[in-house]
Amino acid sequence: MTNQQELYARVEQAAKYQHSLRNLATHRKINPYQDAFASPEYLELVRENVQNLDTALEKVYDSILNAPTDGPAHFSRENTWVWGGPTPSWGGSMAKDASIQAANYFGFDNVMYVYGPHTEEMFEIHKNCRKVICHLGGNCRTEGAQQLGDIEEAENLSRMSLKYPNIVGGVIDDMLGNCGPRYSRKTYMEMHKALKAHNPKLESYSFVYIHELDLPMLKFFREVEIPDRIILWTWDKNDLPALEMNVEKVRYLFPGRKIMMGVFMFDYGLTVLPNDLPSIAFQLEMSRRLLRQNKIHDIVILGDREINKCPAVAKYIREFFEKEFKAH
């Protein structure tokens, strides 16, 4: 457990205990809400725990406000990704190399290959990428692309990664939104296990939206420590000003797990129009800052079809990363 994880655990433990103490105070007919000043009885009951809580919180505040800037100062081709693959939806393309075309446009080496099938042909198309993460499960997949069951597909990807060593993991789209309607928690655990069946180095990635961060089911994923990595997305761009705070929330909810920042070129959540350049600029600049602080480790741009849908945004992103790669 890292120091950060330990601090968050101490805060959570003290906060839970404080709720219990308040309930006990109510049971003893001690009511701090109605008293002008805390009564001696209430202070005696809670003093030690409140001191522990405040001490832990102070250390958390300090770790956030004075986060070390010993991470990379700029993004590199090692930690930049494009999201894409063959799909007729959302104005997409069924071109088998759609994701490769997008990677070439942005100058990226890494691809999050989604929507399409897990076939030798598709893995051959992507074999020259530095790293590839492949779509797992049927959510948002192109019709007919998933040729095996969810667990069988994950195990097959594990097996295929031995032949195609640039495959480094699998991604489940909309993990929380499909927990219950499409997948059980047991299925997620079995997919995670199957992904590592032949290659334990593979990592599981999952979509998490910031508007999902208060869902009770997140506690389950925290307790079982799946997935290995989180891809954080802001669906409604009016939530972007709280981006840094939401990254901290993810670090608290998924302690020790690395975060990939997701950037929508097209604003699917609110305006259903290409994103405005100030919103894109803010996400990229904030992501660079969080990378410098070792709070995120990668960034993924969604995606290939949006290059034609959002030409000004695509050009801005390409130029941003051109400068990043030169500065790295």
Nearest of 250, 213, 244 to residue 229 by alpha carbon: 250
**Residue 182 within any structural domain of the chain:** yes
**Residue 102 within any structural domain of the chain:** yes
Are both 56 and 139 inside the same structural domain? no
- Residue 187 CA to residue 150 CA, distance in Å, equals 8
pLDDT > 80? residue 203: yes
C-alpha distances in Å from residue 211, one per residue of 66, 70, 108, 171? 27, 30, 29, 19
**Residue 39 within any structural domain of the chain:** yes
Instruction: Give the pLDDT score at 260.
Output: 98
Looking at the chain, the whole-number percentage of residues with pLDDT higher than 70 is 94
Are both 132 and 46 inside the same structural domain? no
pLDDT > 70? residue 265: yes
pLDDT tens string 69-121: 889 999 999 999 999 999 998 889 999 999 999 999 999 999 999 999 999 99
Are both 171 and 255 inside the same structural domain? yes
Helices 311-327 and 277-292, axial angle in degrees (round to 10): 30
Q: What is the DSSP string of 279-298?
A: HHHHHHHHHHHHHHTTS--E
Domain that residue 225 falls in: 80-327
Least confident of 11-25, 194-208, 273-287: 11-25
Are both 117 and 258 inside the same structural domain? yes
Query: Tell me, what CATH number does 190's domain have?
Result: 3.20.20.80
**Residue 72 within any structural domain of the chain:** no
Quickly state the pLDDT bin for 328 (edges 50, 70, 90).
Answer: confident
Are both 138 and 182 inside the same structural domain? yes
Instruction: Give the pLDDT score at 178.
Output: 59
- Residue 235 CA to residue 35 CA, distance in Å, equals 44
Structure tokens at 55: 């001490």
Q: Tell me which amino acid residue 169 is.
A: G
Predicted TM-score (pTM) of this structure: 0.84
pLDDT tens string 19-71: 888 888 888 888 776 666 778 888 888 889 888 888 888 887 787 777 778 89
Neighbouring C-beta atoms of residue 49, cutoff 10 Å: 16
Cβ contact 308:91 at 8 Å: yes
Element housing 263 (H / E):
strand 259-264
**Residue 71 within any structural domain of the chain:** no
Q: Give yes or no for a cis peptide into 303 (omega within 30° of 0).
A: yes
Are both 195 and 126 inside the same structural domain? yes
Q: What is the DSSP string of 96-149?
A: TTHHHHHHHHHT-SEEEE-SS---HHHHHHTTTSSEEEEEESSTTPPTT---S-
Are both 61 and 168 inside the same structural domain? no
Instruction: Give the pLDDT score at 33.
Output: 66
Instruction: Give the pLDDT score at 151.
Output: 94
pLDDT > 80? residue 183: no
**Residue 185 within any structural domain of the chain:** yes
Please give the average per-residue pLDDT across 218-222, as a whole number: 75
Are both 217 and 145 inside the same structural domain? yes
Are both 132 and 242 inside the same structural domain? yes
Reported as half-sphere exposure (CB side, CA atoms, 13 A), residue 72 has a value of 18
Q: Please say which residue of 65, 98, 117 terminates a domain.
A: 65
Looking at the chain, the whole-number percentage of residues with pLDDT higher than 90 is 55
Q: Tokens 């997949």 correspond to what residue?
A: 141
Neighbouring C-beta atoms of residue 5, cutoff 10 Å: 13
Domain count, the chain: 2
Structure tokens at 242: 């709280």
Are both 57 and 140 inside the same structural domain? no
Per mean pLDDT, which of 139-153, 169-183, 190-204 is the most reliable? 190-204
Cβ contact 109:103 at 8 Å: yes
Enumerate residues 6+ apart whose C-beta is below 8 A from 299.
75, 79, 80, 81, 260, 261, 262, 263, 284, 287, 291
> pLDDT higher for 267 or 30?
267
**Residue 70 within any structural domain of the chain:** no
pLDDT > 70? residue 196: yes
Are both 30 and 92 inside the same structural domain? no
Are both 141 and 284 inside the same structural domain? yes
Please tell me the total number of residues recorded for the chain in this structure.
328
**Residue 74 within any structural domain of the chain:** no
